[in-house]
Structure formats: C-alpha cells, structure tokens
Amino acid sequence: MLRAVLDTNVLVAGFLGPDYSPAHALLEAHREGEFELVSSPRQFAELDGVLRRPAFERQASGGRAAGFVDRLASATLFVADPYDLPRVTANRHDDLLAAVAHIGGARFLVTAEPDLVRSFVRDLTIATPEEFLAGLDRVEQLMSAAV
C-alpha cells in the first residue's frame, strides 16, 4: 500500500479547513484506505499542541480536537521517533518528517510549506496536498483500467 507522511500543517488544515479543501480531501482519502499515514509520537504531540492553541479554541472545543487526534492515531502507522537526525532539509522539523518517512517506508511527504516542497530529499517525493491527491486519482484510474 502507498504510504505517506502528512506535515502537521496539512493535518491541521484538514481538521480546521472547509470540507472542500485539499487537506480535508486527503484525510478523507486516508479514511477510505487510499493510502497509509505514517507518523511518529513526536509529530502527534506537535499536532495536539497546535490544536490546543488559543487561536483554535473555538474550532477545537468540546473535545473535537482530541477526538480527531485519537481517531487519526488509531489509523496511523507509528514509527519510533528518530534521534540524531541527518540534515537533509533547511529545517530541523522537516528533517524529522523526512526521517519518519524513510523509517516508515513512505515514499511521499505531503506539505503546504513552499520551502519544503522545493527541497530535494533522496528517495522521497515531496508534494503539495493538491499534487498528492492528483497522484492518488491517477493510481486509482490505473488500477481500474487493469481490471
């Protein structure tokens, strides 16, 4: 199965954004089993922390954020947090995402961060949510044609 790491910014946008947003569509595709999400405890702690910020209090109230994080965690392939990260990007957080992808066998890292999209990391395709969604659609079309 296709594996991908979704940057925290994509996960937050999928939770907070409108139903028609690419980030929300990615979460739907994950729920429908179109790809396997790979992450680490450190990234999920970051996601939880971001959703607890006062700026998101209204959208995350009533346990919505905690429920989202719990549901997502139950459907995610977790790998151990890597230590001694190799420098492969301009940002240490992005180095973590790249390492998680490599450890978890993910070939894709999906982000809304322009600097990361322009990065080159060996054996990893870095894509925007729109690009990754288009790729999922293409894979589905090829599989349908093969039947």
Q: Where are the domains of the chain?
A: 3-146
- pLDDT tier for residue 62 given thresholds of 50, 70 and 90: confident
Alpha-carbon separation of residue 18 from 5, 21, 59, 136 (angstroms): 21, 6, 12, 20
Residues 20 and 134: their CA atoms lie apart, in Å, by: 15
Q: What does the pLDDT read at residue 10?
A: 97
Q: What does the pLDDT read at residue 95?
A: 83
- Percent of the chain scoring above 70 in pLDDT: 88
Look up residue 80 and give its DSSP letter: P
Q: Helices (H) and strands (E) in the chain — how many of each?
A: 8, 5
Q: Which two tokens stand for residue 120?
A: 């080159």
Burial readout 65-95 (b: 16 or more C-beta within 10 A, e: otherwise): beebbeebeeebeebeebeebeebbeeebbb
Q: Which fold has domain 3-146?
A: Rossmann fold (3.40.50)
Residues 101 and 106: their CA atoms lie apart, in Å, by: 5
Is the pLDDT at 143 greater than 60? The verdict is no
Q: What does the pLDDT read at residue 21?
A: 93
